[in-house]
Structure 1
Amino acid sequence: MIRNIHERTVQAPAAQVGELLDEVAIAGNPLWPTEKWPPLELDGPLGAGANGGHGDVHYACTAYRPGEFVEFTFAPGFLLEGTHTFEVIDDGVSTTLRHVIAAETRGITGFLAWHLAIRPLHDALLEELLDNAETAVGTPPTPFRWPLRTRVLFWISVKLGVD
């Protein structure tokens, strides 16, 4: 079972962080790191039933509470079977934006793909997204620095035209 968690606590009201999350699939939003990554695109507004993804990763929105929570379920046939979620957690003083993948790999191909390529690229994308969240609420972070392995995998994916 994969349980991959990325989170960042920011000094901003939950409503402000929730607004960022609500716009994550809108072109030009401040949260999604489209400078390097394919945009998150859906076939309609963010909400249960919207289908889309980013690059070669396809999923459907299966739950949505505006400003609080979004759940996406990976499309059938993808290398992972399960969900990834975003959650805005208000502790009264600060707000945490959390992303969780809870999934199983599909066969040996999914297992190898996750451990060798998908996870390092996913981790970089999520850390950049969290950097963007901090920047958007006015507290610029120390930018995430990609590990060498991630830089090599990204370079290979660009050269091969893989999203």
Structure 2
Amino acid sequence: MIRNVHHRMIPADARVVGELLDTLASDDDRLWPCHRWPAMRFTGPLGVGAVGGHGPVRYSCEDYVPGRRVTFRFRRPRGFVGTHGFVVEPVDASRTRLTHRLEIDARGPARIGWPLIWRPLHDALIEDALDRAENAVVPHRHREPRPLSGYVRLLRRCASGRAVHPRRDRSTV
């Protein structure tokens, strides 16, 4: 079983952070980092039963408590058996923990694909989402997007079909 957890302590009231969660996949999405990653989209509004995803990743919403949590069950990529989602947890009156949790039983090609391809992309995307959340609710704070690692940039180029064959690209030799 793969458990991948990212969290951020955000200096804001849980109600304010929860409002970000409720914008997921909307035209006014203030949580998902669609400035650098494929947008999260569904066939209808965010809610139990909504089907969609981002890029080649597909899932359906299996649990949604507005302002508190959302859980999605994977449909693709093949071999991803499990869930991912966000949880908003009040710590005290002025601090909230925003957590993204992914739990999958990787099967078949996903056993190799997760550590080599999906995890680096996932980790970068989720950190961008947490930065976006913090920027949205903390006045006068703007965390610049973190530079993507060379490996993540390579994976993104390959995924977009822009990978350059090393023998054809002599400009760096």
Q: Distance in 2 between matches of 1:9 and 1:141?
A: 14
Instruction: Name the residue aligned to 1:34.
Output: 34
- Could you tell me whether the CA contact under 8 Å between 2:57 and 2:76 is conserved in 1? no
Q: How far off its partner does 1:79 sit?
A: 2.8
Q: Matched residue of 1:91: which SS?
A: strand
Amino acid aligned to 1:148: G
Q: Matched residue of 1:144: which SS?
A: coil
**Gaps in structure 2 of 5+ consecutive residues:** 164-173
Amino acid aligned to 2:103: A
Q: Distance in 2 between matches of 1:76 and 1:36?
A: 21
Instruction: Name the residue aligned to 1:16.
Output: 16
Q: Distance in 2 between matches of 1:53 and 1:76?
A: 9
Structure 2 CA distance for partners of 1:34 and 1:16, relative to 1, 3 Å: same
Instruction: Name the residue aligned to 1:89.
Output: 89
Residue deviations 1:10-42, cap 9 Å, x none?
101101110000101102412111122111001
- Could you tell me whether the CA contact under 8 Å between 1:80 and 1:106 is conserved in 2? yes
Of Structure 1 and Structure 2, the greater helix share is in: 1
Q: Distance in 1 between matches of 2:7 and 2:77?
A: 28
Instruction: Name the residue aligned to 1:140.
Output: 142
**Number of residues of Structure 1 aligned to a counterpart in Structure 2:** 160
**Gaps in structure 1 of 5+ consecutive residues:** none
Instruction: Name the residue aligned to 2:157.
Output: 155
Amino acid aligned to 2:157: W
Q: Matched residue of 2:161: which SS?
A: helix
TM-score normalised to structure 2 length: 0.87
Give identity over the alignment, percent.
Answer: 43
Instruction: Name the residue aligned to 1:104.
Output: 105
- Structure number with greater Rg is 2
- RMSD, aligned α-carbons: 1.6
